[in-house]
């Protein structure tokens, strides 16, 4: 069978027009597939622009019977203005990443896509309601009983099935070929997470003057910076699986019982530990921010305890799910069945899996530490800390998070499990 080249990403969108609340109904009437019926006529529909993210236009369109979300890329970074240009290609990567995740994690865990218009960089999706962004809820001290199960499962399924362990080699290489051109969004990660926090870069942004000395120390911390640079290289070269690429608590929508992972425009083939570490890093950020939001000490401790449990349960659900898929695999040329299932046998398979998971755990801790650092030192902060009004209190929280980050980056090898990491976090 000959390789079928995947259609390359669009690059040029000659007739692109950014939508407004006024133009969108007509566009939808002309373009939506017939089976997506909002109910009523375009003039009956309510359109709200709700994009509060960094990059895109996001509309909620309410028909008489059905509501949808319309996401359109802009040719620049919305949060930074038109001077920071960014191509429309990210809509292409987001759409294809969503479709791939849905294939393996199902619409239980990602929003259903109704329609994609490559030229207009528009993706039309199910309107998730009454879902809310996880980050805001964590700041509010809310708890979600299914969260760890959902995210652990999402990670296990998407990372396993798009890796050489679980996917046919030809198909996996086609994913590599398709997502490698997502260089613009990769570069944002490469710069903002892996480089700028480690020197006096212009875009850095921390709680000043409270943390000035801490940050200066970090820039002198050669031991930590060397690890950061090795992990930058790993991020750039280890095409292990299709990553979400930006899996923080702002990319997750929740209800009491439902969890959806959104916004995978940073999707590309990278090291599994990046996604897992990113998510865990953000839970640690929420953890260290608690004293900034919860004055009741006992309540604060209980909330931190819940977050710590989320972290270890997510890892446990992930590894259990990942290894279960691995045990039952029928394709995937890495750790092939000819060798393990049919030749060496079960004990050898378990040994290979242990070594694999041990390395992944170490890499996950390092990536979690790098995510913590960049959210406190770098360009893109998180509301968990940024919205704590008292800067002294905020800095105290952030300083403890930075201490954990250093420990995770420099001493990841010393930790056997996330309970041990939590003990360290409590000791800071």
Our CB check for its own copies shows the closer of 5 and 34 to be: 5
Among 186, 242, 283, 408, binds its own copies (CB under 8 A): 186
Stretch 226-255: interaction string toward its own copies, x if CB under 8 A: x--xx-xx--xxxxx---------------
Residues 275-334 that bind its own copies (CB under 8 A): 333-334
Number of residues that bind its own copies (CB under 8 A): 63
> What is the spatial distance between Cα 137 and Cα 131, in angstroms, rounded to a whole number?
11
Q: Residue 295, class by beta-carbon neighbours within 10 Å (0-12 exposed, 13-18 middle, 19+ buried)?
A: exposed
Query: Could you tell me the smallest distance in angstroms from the CB atom of residue 239 to its own copies?
Result: 5
Q: Between 48 and 87, how does the x/- string for binding to its own copies read (CB under 8 A)? A: ---------------------------------------x
Residue in 348, 420, 423, 428 binding its own copies, rule: CB under 8 A: 348
Q: Which of 26, 107, 199, 216 binds its own copies (CB under 8 A)?
A: 199
Q: How far apart are CA 152 and CA 395, in angstroms?
A: 31
C-alpha 125/C-alpha 140 separation (Å) is 27
Closest to its own copies by CB, 68 vs 228, is 228
Strand boundaries in 34-128, DSSP class E? 46-49, 56-62, 67-73, 76-77, 81-85, 113-117, 122-126
Question: Least Å distance between CB 247 and its own copies?
Answer: 20
Six-digit token string for 34: 């017939």
Question: Contact with its own copies (CB under 8 A): which of 27, 95, 160, 198?
Answer: 198
What's the 3-state SS for 151-184? HHHHHHHHHHHCCCCCCCHHHHHHHHHHHCCCHH
CB nearer its own copies, residue 295 or residue 338: 338
Reference 319, options 264, 366, 369, 359; nearest CA is 359
Applying CB under 8 A, among 23, 41, 170, 208 the residue interacting with its own copies is: 170
Q: Does 26 interact with its own copies (rule: CB under 8 A)?
A: no
Nearest alpha carbon to residue 407 among 314, 246, 281, 249 = 281
Residue closer to its own copies (CB basis): 99 or 358 = 358
Stretch in the footprint of its own copies (CB under 8 A) among 18-26, 348-356, 382-390, 409-417: 348-356
Considering the complex, state which of residue 348 and residue 423 has its C-beta at the smaller distance from its own copies: 348
- C-alpha 290/C-alpha 303 separation (Å) is 7
Contact (Cβ atoms closer than 8 angstroms) between residue 388 and residue 292 = yes
Q: Does 89 bind its own copies (CB under 8 A)?
A: yes
**Which of 206-234 are b and which e, b meaning 16 or more Cβ less than 10 Å from the residue's Cβ?**
bbeebbeebbeebbebeebbebbeebbeb
Binding status of residue 222 toward its own copies by CB under 8 A: yes
List residues bridging with 56 in a β-sheet.
73
Q: How far is the CB of 302 from its own copies (least distance, A)?
A: 41
Q: Which of 206, 274, 326, 335 binds its own copies (CB under 8 A)?
A: 335
> Is 18 a residue that touches its own copies (CB under 8 A)?
no
Residue 34, judged by CB atoms within 10 A of its CB (0-12, 13-18, 19+), counts as: exposed
On whether the CB atoms of residues 214 and 399 are closer than 8 A, the answer is yes
3-state secondary structure of 94: helix
Tell the smallest beta-carbon distance from residue 263 to its own copies (Å): 20
Q: Which of 64, 176, 423, 428 binds its own copies (CB under 8 A)?
A: 176
Collect all residues with Cβ–Cβ distance below 8 Å to 214 and sequence separation of at least 6: 399, 402
Q: Which of 103, 343, 350, 413 binds its own copies (CB under 8 A)?
A: 343
Catalog residues that contact its own copies under the rule CB under 8 A. 1-6, 8-9, 11-12, 87, 89, 163-165, 169-170, 172-174, 176-178, 180-184, 186-187, 190, 195, 198-201, 219, 222, 225-226, 229-230, 232-233, 236-240, 333-336, 338-340, 342-344, 348, 351-352, 355
């Amino acid at each position: 069978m000959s390789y079928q080249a995947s259609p390359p990403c669009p690059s040029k969108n000659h007739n692109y027009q950014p939508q407004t609340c006024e133009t969108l109904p007509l566009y939808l009437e002309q373009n939506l597939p017939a089976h997506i019926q909002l109910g009523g006529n375009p003039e009956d529909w309510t359109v709200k622009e709700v994009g509060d993210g960094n990059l895109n236009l996001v509309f909620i369109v309410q028909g008489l019977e059905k509501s949808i979300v319309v996401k359109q890329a802009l040719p620049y970074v919305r949060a930074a203005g038109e001077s920071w240009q960014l191509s429309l290609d990210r809509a292409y990567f987001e759409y294809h990443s969503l479709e791939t995740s849905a294939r393996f994690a199902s619409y239980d865990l990602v929003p259903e896509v109704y329609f994609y218009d490559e030229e207009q960089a528009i993706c039309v999706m199910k309107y998730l309601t009454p879902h809310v962004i996880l980050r805001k809820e964590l700041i509010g001290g809310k708890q979600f009983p299914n969260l760890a199960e959902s995210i652990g499962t999402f990670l296990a399924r998407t990372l396993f099935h798009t890796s050489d362990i679980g996917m046919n080699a030809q198909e996996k290489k086609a994913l590599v070929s398709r997502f490698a051109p997502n260089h613009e969004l990769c570069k944002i990660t490469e710069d903002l997470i892996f480089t700028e926090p480690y020197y006096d870069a212009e875009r850095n942004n921390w709680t000043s003057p409270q943390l000035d000395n801490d940050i200066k120390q970090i820039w002198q911390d050669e031991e930590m910076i060397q690890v950061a640079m090795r992990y930058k290289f790993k991020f750039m070269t280890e095409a292990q699986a299709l990553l979400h690429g930006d899996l923080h608590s702002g990319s997750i929508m929740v209800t009491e019982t439902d969890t959806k992972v959104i916004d995978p425009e940073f999707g590309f083939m990278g090291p599994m530990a990046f996604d897992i570490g990113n998510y865990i890093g953000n839970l640690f950020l929420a953890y260290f921010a608690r004293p900034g939001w919860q004055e009741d000490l006992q309540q604060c401790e209980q909330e931190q305890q819940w977050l710590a449990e989320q972290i270890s349960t997510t890892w446990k659900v992930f590894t259990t799910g990942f290894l279960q898929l691995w045990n039952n695999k029928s394709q995937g040329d890495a750790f092939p069945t000819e060798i393990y299932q049919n030749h060496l046998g079960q004990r050898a398979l378990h040994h290979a899996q242990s070594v694999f998971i041990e390395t992944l755990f170490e890499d996950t801790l390092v990536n979690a530490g790098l995510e913590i650092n960049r959210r406190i030192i770098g360009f893109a902060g998180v509301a968990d800390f940024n919205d704590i009004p008292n800067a002294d209190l905020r800095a105290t929280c952030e300083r403890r998070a930075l201490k954990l980050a250093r420990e995770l980056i420099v001493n990841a090898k010393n930790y056997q499990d996330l309970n041990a990491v939590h003990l360290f976090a409590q000791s800071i």
